[in-house]
Structure formats: C-alpha cells, structure tokens
Structure 1
Amino acid sequence: MQTFDQVIQSNAALIQKVVDFDVKHDRLLPLDFTVANTELTDEILDNTDLFSNWVNEKLAKNNARYGIGGYNEHRTIYSRSVHFDTEEEPRRLHLGVDIWGPVGTPIYNFYDATVQSFANNNNFGDYGATIILAYEIDGFKFNALYGHLSLASLNGLKEGEFIPAGAKIAVLGAKEENGNWPPHLHFQLIKNMEGLKGDYPGVCRLSEREKYLVNCPNPNLILKTTFF
C-alpha cells in the first residue's frame, strides 16, 4: 500500500495551487517563530497591528510576495493567547504551514473535494473563519483545513458540497475575523478528523508531537515548497 507521500508525489501533476504563486518570479520568505527569533518581543506579540507591521516589513525588505513556514515548529508566539494553554503543558508545536500575505489574498482548492465542515472559531488566537475540505486521491482519504479566512468565505457553503480543483474557495481575513492574527492562511492536512467538524487542533503539546505528526502530514507536499 502506498504511503501518503507516495500518493501525493505520484499525482503531483494533478495537484493545483493553494495561493497564487509564480515559482519563476515570486519569492517566498521563510519566517521563524521559535525562541530563536529574538526580534518578536512581548510588546509586538501583544499588539496585532505591531505584529502585522513586523511581518509586512520583513516581506518588503526581502522583496517577498508571501511569508511561509511553521510545520513541526515549536513556537513561542502562542504565549500571546490563553487559548493554547493547558493545565498540564501548553500547546506550542505547529501542525500546519502558514502563508503570510495581505488581507483578501485568494485561496484555492488544490484537488477535487467536498466540504467536510466549516465554522467561525472566534476565540482570541484561534482560526477565526475556517473551512475543512475532504479529499480522496487513489483511494487515500484525508482532509485539509484552511484557517484564518474572511467570514464572507463561509457564506453559502454546505456540508457535502462538491468543490472542483482550481476553484477559489476563500480569501484571507482581517484580524477582526481571523482570530486576531496578522493576515495569513493556516493550511493543515489531517488524515483522521477524529469525529470533529469545523475545527481540529493546529497546535499540540510537544509531548504529543509524534501522534499528531502521523495524523497531520507535511503540507509542503501539496504546496510544493522545499524550505521545510
């Protein structure tokens, strides 16, 4: 039986874009949100506008269209929200890839899918507007979570609705509707939704890393990026 990586790689020609990006002309800038990034002070992290300015300045300085990164990254930035705190151990390990760009950036479906669910996860630091699509490629079933979208992106959606490959499914939301973050897409692959709808952990405890990484494969397989 093929692994997830093998299924995606053998169908690479059929996998379409998630964001507009020209590999010949556009630059992606890897962004580090671990403890190694000493530029991100508590003052910046506590103010979403300052945080957004920091991201925008990084992109402009490096002539990059988008910032990208985060899969399997142990991040300090989640200390800005109690949403990621638990009594036993705070959640800090990121399970998706983030693509940082302007509000209104179009998001596309990379392969034929159906709507598994959608929701507005409206907690500080949460996903905000969220869409989860269900996929089947060569008999391999999995899901993709698209988080931090505009609320309007949820309008008219129905569970079970067919979404063709290449269709525009959403745009990036502003801080007021994306969980109070600088605008970006949280893109995460999930094999087993474990009965959940409209939500799935995008950040886990470090002690649960192996369990969650097995269920949440590297999204760079779909994004076709090679940074991580």
Structure 2
Amino acid sequence: MGPLEKLKEWLLNSENKISSVVDFDPSADLLYPFDFTAANLELTDEILADTSVFSSWVNKKLADTHSRYGIGGYAEHRTIYSRSIHFDTVEEPRRLHLGVDIWGPAGTPVYNFYDAVVHSFRNNDHFGDYGGTIILKYELDGLALYALYGHLSLASIAGLKTGQFIAAGTRFAAFGIPAENGNWPPHLHFQLMFDMQGREGDYPGVCQFSNQAVYLNNCPDPGLVLHHTFKLPNG
C-alpha cells in the first residue's frame, strides 16, 4: 500500500479525531471558490501588480458573496504567479499550485488538525514567497506526513522550537498581513507532503507544469484533511 492509500485509510478511521484548521460553521458559513487560472479574465495584470488592489479585489469577492473564506487552488494552473519573479525559471516558469489556499482576514487563527511536532519554520521573505512558514510533522500509524502552513504572521514563528509538540486543536498560528506573508492578500497556504526531501522551513508550493507528476505524487490533495474543516463534498 502506497502512502496516499495509507493516508486515506487513516483518515477513514473514525477513531482518529481530526480538528479544524480554521474556524468554520458549515451550517452558517459560506466558502467562495476562487479561480486563479487564465480563465479568470477579471483578474488583470493591473490588479495583480498592486498587493493592496489585489487584496481589495479578494475582499470584495468575499463580501459580495457573504463568504467567510475564499478557497481553492490544488493542482490549479495559475496565472497569478506572473506577479513575482520568484516563480520564474530559465526553462519554464512555475505555475502549478500544490496546496489549498484559504483566503480571509489577517489575524485569522490557524489550528493544528492532529498531534504533531514542529519540523521546521522560517520567514521566507521574498516578494511572492510564503513569508512566515511553519512545517509540522505527523506520525499516523507509521506514516510520516508533513503539513506546510504558509503566509503566516511573524508572531506565529516567534519562540517556536524544532521538535516542539503541538496538540490537535491547538491554535498555533495566524494569517499574516501582506508585509509579513510574502506580499499577498491575507490567506493560508495549506499543503501536505510525504517527503520533505531534505528541506527545512520551506517546500515548493508551486511547480513547473512539466514536473506535475513528481510533485503531485509527493503532495496529496489537502482537501483530504480540510474535508473535516469545511465538510467539502469531494474531500
């Protein structure tokens, strides 16, 4: 049985209690599905070039639809990364998103979905990068799983220690403001990895389209976990 099958089996076990990653009431709160592909003609280069304008655009979408959060992005081929040279490479730009983004106000609390220890953390402070980043390591009946929480406040990483235990349901971080989160509208980048491949404090959240098979094999759909937060029908 491969790691993905093991993860799915573990998640199906009702004895494993999965906590929410953010506060959400499925009976009252709404999610807005953002589309950041080339099909979204409304999102112009002028909007993307200015973080404050981009933030206003995101906030208006959420307000107009009475949504608590925006969501989306796993395996999405996004055009928005053209706003930063951080995603450009000589051979082929990185455009395929490997996590799920949860868009909401700065300061939104972030909770740990299951008992874990701090694998690593860092302020990845390039324009368009993660900003405050925490990677937690989970041991799930012999399966090692890592979760990257990106675009956090810098207060989230202050005082952390590698190996520190964080219990399920613990509030351990918060969405960062643009000045701390890599210059993005406030949101959480949530990504799962089976293998950190020797990296610490960082892991690519966007890959080249030509390398999608390799990265998607190592980075399963975070919706498998977020289903327990949002009760997603396809989680």
Please give the range of the TM-score, normalised by the shorter of the 2 chains.
over 0.9
Residues 58-95 of structure 1 deviation map (CA, whole Å, 9 limit, x = unaligned) = 00111100000000000000000000000000000000
Q: 1:63 aligns with which of 66, 76, 81?
A: 66
Percentage of identical aligned residues = 63
In structure 2, what is the equivalent of residue 216 of structure 1? 219
Structure 2 counterpart of 1:201, one-letter code: P
1:44-83 matched pairs, under 5 angstroms: 44-83=47-86
Q: Are 1:226 and 2:233 matched, yes or no?
A: yes
Structure 2 counterpart of 1:27, one-letter code: L
Q: 2:101 aligns with which of 95, 98, 102?
A: 98
Structure 2 counterpart of 1:126, one-letter code: D
Q: 1:8: how far off? A: 1.8
Structure 2 distance, partners of 1:166, 1:146, is 15
Structure 2 distance, partners of 1:148, 1:12, is 31
In structure 1, what is the equivalent of residue 45 of structure 2? 42
Q: 1:147: how far off? A: 0.2
In structure 2, what is the equivalent of residue 18 of structure 1? 21
Q: Is the 8 A contact 2:10 2:16 kept in 1?
A: no
Q: Which runs of 4+ in 1 moved over 4 A?
A: none
In structure 2, what is the equivalent of residue 139 of structure 1? 142
The DSSP-based 3-state class of the residue aligned with 2:185 is: coil
Structure 2 distance, partners of 1:12, 1:51, is 42
Structure 1 distance, partners of 2:131, 2:12, is 31
Structure 2 distance, partners of 1:220, 1:46, is 29
Unaligned residue ranges in structure 2 (runs of 5+) = none
Structure 2 distance, partners of 1:3, 1:205, is 27
Q: Which moved more, 1:9-18 or 1:186-195?
A: 9-18
1:162-177 matched pairs, under 5 angstroms: 162-177=165-180
Structure 1 counterpart of 2:138, one-letter code: Y
The DSSP-based 3-state class of the residue aligned with 1:14 is: coil
Q: Which moved more, 1:136-145 or 1:126-135?
A: 136-145
Q: Is the 8 A contact 1:7 1:140 kept in 2?
A: no
Q: Is the 8 A contact 1:118 1:130 kept in 2?
A: yes
TM-score calculated relative to the size of structure 2: 0.95
Q: 1:13: how far off? A: 5.2
Q: Is the 8 A contact 1:143 1:190 kept in 2?
A: yes
Instruction: Check 1:12–1:20 CA distance in 2 against 1; reply closer, same or farther (3 A cut).
Output: farther
Residues paired across the two proteins, number? 228
Q: Is the 8 A contact 1:116 1:197 kept in 2?
A: yes
Unaligned residue ranges in structure 1 (runs of 5+) = none
Q: 1:138: how far off? A: 1.7
Q: 1:142: how far off? A: 0.8
Considering only aligned residues, what root-mean-square deviation do their CA atoms show, in Å? Answer: 1.2
TM-score calculated relative to the size of structure 1: 0.97
Q: Are 1:206 and 2:209 matched, yes or no?
A: yes
Structure 1 distance, partners of 2:15, 2:94, is 33
Instruction: Check 1:128–1:11 CA distance in 2 against 1; reply closer, same or farther (3 A cut).
Output: farther
Structure 2 counterpart of 1:53, one-letter code: S
Q: 1:140: how far off? A: 1.1
Q: 1:226: how far off? A: 3.3
In structure 1, what is the equivalent of residue 185 of structure 2? 182
